[in-house]
Amino acid sequence: MNEKEVSAPVVTHLEAMTSIDSTDPKVRDVTNLDAAARFIVEHGETATEITAEESAAVRRKIDKRLMPLMAIMYLNQQLDKSAISFSSVFNFQKDTGLHGTQFAWLSTIVYIGALIGQPLAVYALARLPVGYYVSANYVAWSICMLCMTACTSFTGLAALRFLLGLFEASIAPTMMIVTAMWWTRREQGFRSQWWYLQNGFSSIFGSLLTYGLGHIDNSVLKPYQRIFLAIGLISFCCSIPNALLFPNSPVTAKFLNENEKRIALERVRYNQTGVQGQHFKWEHVREVALDPKTYLLIGIILPKAITAGGLGTFGPLVLQGLGYNQFQTTLFNMIPGAIQIVFGFFAGWWMTKYKYKSPMLMLLVVISLAGSIGMYISPRGEQYRPQLLAFYMLLQFSGSAAPLVFAWANTNTAGSTKKATIASVEWTFVCIGNAIGPQLFAHDVGPYYFIALRSQVISLSVIILCVVAMATWLHMLNKRNARRRAARGASENLVDLSLEAESKWAELREKQLEFNTTAGTTTQIGEQAFLDLTDLENDTFIYSF
């Protein structure tokens, strides 16, 4: 094909082109596509089969660069947000003159800031280099955390907590987009667990840090000021090297050579979710608004965030209400973090091995539901303290479920603007849920919080119903796509390599060839991967349930 003859209707042959003339108005349509598509055209590449060894070597290189950076960034933002929770058992409310529901509002206002920051985040992530954007926000929120050390009243704390949330609005959507950009759908579950489970590490690290700082006898700085200063310094010192090392995309990554970039793109071709666009597409936003998956996802995320928001802020006070002192409470507060980490990594391993996400998600939520029911119906008193503590720890299992939800949404969404919009929708309802959760505890009677515990039971039950509905709907979408392919003469049967181990790719390609021979077609999964199509537009997209 002559490069001058390229136009949008025949753009499915993009990978076969060897060069472009950017002055040709027809070719300009190609330059508006996914970053991977532009790289392929501009470098004269074609769609090629990579070996398992090539893929594994590049994956290891990607892991070494990105996983530590993502983990440290997410750990820092969680420590920053949780600083008031760690300080709550060391007279934080008294030292800052808080009264009534002001403590709960300091938690809620972070998520109000993040909620307001979401429209900017979704637009920026669809238009700007991801690495530059998130790094700038990282530096900004760490400065906010440092400034909180000087605050001695609700007004100053509330203003800085609002700004903290505004800058942190970028973090979760960025993590989800970066995960989808660099790893296959099979690999995404474990990587999502890796960065999200820094919540658990933050609980352990923050509790140990607080335990040590709480024992310091210092007349100059109050305990909460020492905690804020230490956490703020850690974040700021980590944000500078992150800004220098965090890549924008596989296409521009300086730690990969040209051949490794090609391999990195071929690795994620089978995801069919693209890499990164540079144009905001309103048709993708409309599709999000009309897609039933969006509302089922909200039905999972919102109640999950309500449970997390309440326990994240009032968890130490719930433990203290069982009869433990401030130092015992601080140490026991590490156990939920350990539960999140251990069972989160188990869930990530299970997803990688067995591909399905909904069964593990259901299991974790059911365990938490059992814990919340136990906490609600158990009698109170010193003799019941061990069983109440056990039920409280069961309630923490749902913390390991959150990254499964994010990974599930990631693997089932395609199109650059649609991915950014879905990520923003997810984080918007995370913010709303986390804003609601503390208020349920704040307007309840401590130390037992029966009304808040009842809300936990209801929220977890809603999650279970929505997970079942989502899995059913995704199965139906796969059936519909098979019928759409058959209607245009393509093979109904497609092998999804993105959910399989690299060692099986050669064998599965042979299997796909057999399917194509039987159907008399040359259909291949991934042939439309970099055209910036949404999952609903692309009939070769395979949903993971």
Q: How many CB atoms lie within 10 A of CB 509?
A: 13
Convert the pLDDT of each residue in 279-338 to its tens digit. Answer: 778 899 999 999 999 999 999 999 999 988 888 767 777 887 788 877 888 788 788 888
Distance CA(52)–CA(55), nearest Å, equals 5
What tokens does 313 get? 């802020």
Give residue 164's pLDDT. Answer: 95
Whether the per-residue pLDDT at 267 is higher than 90: the answer is: no
pTM: 0.77
The residue type of 135 is S
Distances (CA, A) of 475 to 166, 292, 332, 444, 491: 37, 13, 42, 41, 18
Express the helix, strand and coil content of the chain in percent, nearest 5 each.
75, 0, 25
Residue 25 confidence class, pLDDT cut points 50, 70, 90? very low
Over residues 380-393, the pLDDT tens digits come to 878 888 888 889 89
The pLDDT > 70 percentage for the chain reads 87
Confidence of residue 67 (pLDDT cuts 50, 70, 90): very high
Does pLDDT of 77 surpass 50? yes
Say yes or no to pLDDT of 276 above 70.
no
Residue 26 has pLDDT above 60, yes or no: no
Domain 52-477 listed as CATH 3.40.1010.20: no
Write the pLDDT tens digit of every residue in 97-123: 998 889 889 988 998 999 899 888 878
Q: In the predicted model, what is the mean pLDDT of residues 334-358?
A: 85
Residues in Cβ contact with 58 at an 8 Å cutoff, skipping those fewer than 6 apart: 256, 260, 263, 264, 267
- Backbone conformation region of residue 98, classed left if phi is above 0, alpha if psi is from -120 to 50, else beta: beta
| pLDDT score recorded for residue 41 | 55
CB 35 within 8 A of CB 277: yes
Predicted confidence at residue 44, as pLDDT, reads 54
CA atoms within 13 A on the CB side of 378: 23
What's the CA gap between 336 and 204, in Å, rounded? 8
Domain ranges of the chain: 52-477
